[in-house]
A and B are shown apart, each in its own frame.
Chain A
Amino acid sequence: MSDLLPIELREECAPLAGHPEHLIHVLRRVQETVGFISPDSEAFVSDLLGVTLSRVHGVVTFYHLFYTEPRGRHTVRLCRGTACHVGGAGGIQSALEEHLGIKPGETTEDLAVTLETVACLGACALAPVMVVDEGYHGKLTAAEAVAIVDRTLSGEAEAG
């Protein structure tokens, strides 16, 4: 049932067999490798570490950074921390939602973009701030945020 997971990953995780304390680490590696955690992956991890499937699923659904569905090629992560909130992140969120046609936590139908909000990126001096893939963009206006997302997508089109 774990045929979907690459052999390298299974080999890497093999030494951790029977060690439940590595559950979060192994899940993280699975996600880094295949992008999200499927029911099959959960079953693999459960077998490997010798923990019940319910505990694996419990952990996957408890932590925000684990995803149970495929993600977009790009991630737009808008900070909704206090400094960003008072700096107008709410308006930026509405603008991004409208522009992309999705709500936070959702992915566009063409799997191009996943929109997320995060409690605080800890870059409050840059408020309002968003991270597109790995890049930080600070002191944003709603129009700039939309333009940055468009640039990311058109860059992809050119490269493709």
Chain B
Amino acid sequence: MSVKITSREMLDELKQANLARLDAFEHRITVCNGTGCRACGGVEVKEALAAAIDQRGLSDRIDVMPTGCQGYCQRGPLVVVEPEGTLYPTISPEDAERIVQAIEQGGLVDELLLEDPITKERVAKRDGIRFYKGQERIAFALNGKIDPTSIGDYIAYDGYQALAKALLEMTPEKIIDEMTRSGLRGRGGAGFPTGRKWAGCRKQEAVPKYVICNGDEGDPGAFMDRSLIEATPHAILEGMLIACHAVGSSEAHVYVRAEYPLAVEHIRKAIDDARELGLIGENVLGTDFSVDVHVMEGAGAFVCGESTALMYSIEGRRGMPRLTPPRSVEHGLWGKPTVLNNVETFANVPAIILRGAEWFAGIGTETSTGTKVFSLTGKVENNGLVEVPMGTTIRQIVFDIGGGIPDGRSFKAVQTGGPSGGCLPESLLDLPVDYESLSEHDATMGSGGIIVLDDTSCMVDVARFFLDFTASESCGKCAPCRLGVPAMLEILTRITEGEGVPEDIEQLRELASVICSTALCGLGQTAPNPVLSTLHYFEDEYRAHIEEGICPAGSCKALVGAYAIDPDACKACGKCATACPTGAASGTLGQPPYTIDLATCVKCGACFEACPFDAVIRTAKGVSA
């Protein structure tokens, strides 16, 4: 395909040709090949299905397509049969033969279908599964429908039509106006209005200007950007090209974490393919718009997710934030006007251009429009990626879509916003998730990580965990972050080790307030948030550690005296012994009770997690079992 697309007619022809190619099959089996499903054997499943189809001589009737992340990571590898929309979860290569046979005979493999946890009935249709009900997919619209490495698949689903519309029918001002009216706000965390950012860059006279896509997703617990780049790299690219045209830039950069090898591979391929078709290069679609796009791999520094630090990193420097203003739209990459947006923000752009600002603004809430992709993880039944309209409540996300808390445990809190965010307790389950509601309650949207915590999660330890992270990721440029965060961490560590003193709580609050008001960059200023919010909602737990030497959740290792097995509850299933890394838990299968040898026990808690009968008992220090 070395012919360049120089007109909308040619783009349309290519679309029809690709649609015909895709429609030539009676059935298509899509296999999730995102990082998560690959780790569970998704590639092998795809190959087994292809082999089974080949063997039955059905290659001209049934297609197999590897797709990006389909979201339901908990049940990977996912296999979906189209056009029926039948979802088979947790498939292994051995199941391939039966699935292909069933398709050929027009039936289903009942025992491979998902069992509804409540009704216990088998659910065939993806759209009938609780996890997918209540989701609305814009950024994720094509995840699961296209092969991420095929530009033809993307074009078949209206790919690059928004770019054509923007270049051929819209002035830069009109595009910016459309973005402003759509109400789209930055999905990276701060929620700055995208239209206003673009307008700010557009009006700068300095040239050249740059557009940067921030794919340095560093928040622990967030992986929607990785999945978006892996699954629909062209949608992100198209959004970036539209931004280039709108602000008057002819050079764009994608900054991706090096820890995401598949995402790097896919975005590079997308850029090469788009270049070959002339969608990147000189005189795109026969207009005077010319553009080039580069990929920069990060080198492992969380702080590079901060926009000014990221730009220094592209320049080949240490990624250390600088004071703002001047803002990046005035003084960005190489000191030139620069628009920097998050991956998910760009992924929304083509849909807004094609379907209009009013359509987008009609979804979500008044001040937080559209949808948001959340990565739902932690102590929740259905881990995965969830895209819902803004304003959906935490309860809907955690319980309706997420399926609630596993193992009969109880909900304690959700942590949102990563290291800049906070923990929300059960009393706020009905809080709508939008920018304002979250920040009013000491939490933030962040990039959209939602980590569910149950009664075995210690809130002091969660706060300590985040400060440990921020302390080790601090770039060291400003003293409040470099010295203040470790000082807070020291106190928190002391508390989790049972060495806390009553003054610690006040000291933590004081340090937090200084850091919040004096740190140089957004990451430093928000670093104390995990402590402030857990202190706000869970001060009792801090006090239990300090005053009674007890960790109510039983997770702080130093406060655990010992693990023991309740002989009456033990069923001798052997799961504790299998999970134990040191051989301390042992016994004979079927002959209760098992025992734990305290001399070799490292108190890792694996047996406690593994026991299905709650027979493993954790005792506090100083209390005998």
Say if the beta carbon of B258 comes within 8 Å of chain A.
Answer: yes
In residues 127-153 of chain A, which contact B (Cβ within 8 Å)?
Answer: 127, 129, 135-138, 141-143, 145-146
Contact B301 A125, beta carbon cutoff 8 Å: no
Interface size for A (C-beta < 8 A) is: 51
Contact A126 B36, beta carbon cutoff 8 Å: yes
Provide the B312-323 mask, 1 if CB < 8 A to any CB of A, else 0: 011111111000
Task: Choose the segment among B16-24, B357-365, B374-382, B499-507 that binds chain A (4+ C-beta atoms closer than 8 Å).
Answer: B374-382
In residues 71-98 of chain A, which contact B (Cβ within 8 Å)?
Answer: 80-83, 85-88, 90-92, 94-95, 98
When distances are taken between beta carbons in the complex, the residues of chain B under 8 Å from A24 are 296, 299, 313, 316
Say if the beta carbon of B579 comes within 8 Å of chain A.
Answer: yes
Interface size for B (C-beta < 8 A) is: 65
Say if the beta carbon of A102 comes within 8 Å of chain B.
Answer: no
Contact B606 A141, beta carbon cutoff 8 Å: yes
When distances are taken between beta carbons in the complex, the residues of chain B under 8 Å from A80 are 220
Contact A122 B222, beta carbon cutoff 8 Å: yes
Task: A63 to B303: give the CA distance in the assembly, Å.
Answer: 10
Task: A146 to B76: give the CA distance in the assembly, Å.
Answer: 24
When distances are taken between beta carbons in the complex, the residues of chain A under 8 Å from B332 are none
Q: Determine which residue in A62, A92, A125 has the highest number of CB atoms from chain B within 10 A of its CB, and name it.
A: A125
Contact A124 B377, beta carbon cutoff 8 Å: yes
Contact A88 B473, beta carbon cutoff 8 Å: no
Q: Determine which residue in A27, A88, A124, A126 has the highest number of CB atoms from chain B within 10 A of its CB, and name it.
A: A124
Known contacts A21-B316, A119-B218; A90/B300 CB under 8 A: no
Known contacts A65-B300, A124-B377, A141-B610; A83/B221 CB under 8 A: yes
Contact A85 B602, beta carbon cutoff 8 Å: no
Task: A118 to B299: give the CA distance in the assembly, Å.
Answer: 12
Provide the B560-599 mask, 1 if CB < 8 A to any CB of A, else 0: 0000000000000000001111100000000000000000
Which residue of chain B is the closest to A55 with respect to CB atoms? B317
Task: A91 to B259: give the CA distance in the assembly, Å.
Answer: 23
Contact A82 B465, beta carbon cutoff 8 Å: yes
Which residue of chain A is the closest to B221 with respect to CB atoms? A82
Which residue of chain B is the closest to A64 with respect to CB atoms? B300
Say if the beta carbon of B251 comes within 8 Å of chain A.
Answer: no
Say if the beta carbon of A121 comes within 8 Å of chain B.
Answer: yes
Say if the beta carbon of A43 comes within 8 Å of chain B.
Answer: no
Task: A55 to B302: give the CA distance in the assembly, Å.
Answer: 20
Task: A28 to B316: give the CA distance in the assembly, Å.
Answer: 11
Contact A142 B221, beta carbon cutoff 8 Å: no
Known contacts A65-B258, A85-B465; A122/B578 CB under 8 A: no
When distances are taken between beta carbons in the complex, the residues of chain B under 8 Å from A129 are 39
Provide the A3-35 mask, 1 if CB < 8 A to any CB of B, else 0: 000000000000000001111110110000000
Known contacts A62-B319, A143-B579; A91/B218 CB under 8 A: no
Chain A interface mostly: helix
Contact A143 B580, beta carbon cutoff 8 Å: yes
Say if the beta carbon of B217 comes within 8 Å of chain A.
Answer: yes
Provide the A21-59 mask, 1 if CB < 8 A to any CB of B, else 0: 111110110000000000000000000000000010011
CB distance from A77 to the nearest CB of B (A): 9
Contact B610 A87, beta carbon cutoff 8 Å: no
CB distance from B397 to the nearest CB of A (A): 15
Known contacts A120-B219, A121-B259; A59/B377 CB under 8 A: no
When distances are taken between beta carbons in the complex, the residues of chain A under 8 Å from B315 are 21
When distances are taken between beta carbons in the complex, the residues of chain B under 8 Å from A138 are 36, 39-40
Besides A24-B299, A83-B377, 11 other A-B contacts (C-beta < 8 A)? A21-B315, A24-B313, A63-B319, A82-B465, A86-B379, A92-B604, A120-B220, A124-B221, A125-B384, A138-B36, A142-B579
Residues on A lying within 8 angstroms of B by beta carbon are 20-25, 27-28, 55, 58-59, 62-66, 80-83, 85-88, 90-92, 94-95, 98-99, 118-127, 129, 135-138, 141-143, 145-146
Residues on B lying within 8 angstroms of A by beta carbon are 35-36, 38-40, 73-74, 76, 217-223, 226, 257-260, 296-302, 313-320, 375, 377-379, 383-384, 415, 418, 449, 451, 453, 457, 462, 465-466, 469, 473, 475, 557, 578-582, 602, 604-606, 609-610
13 contacts between A and B (CB under 8 A): A23-B316, A24-B316, A28-B297, A64-B301, A82-B378, A91-B606, A92-B604, A94-B604, A95-B582, A125-B74, A125-B377, A141-B579, A142-B581
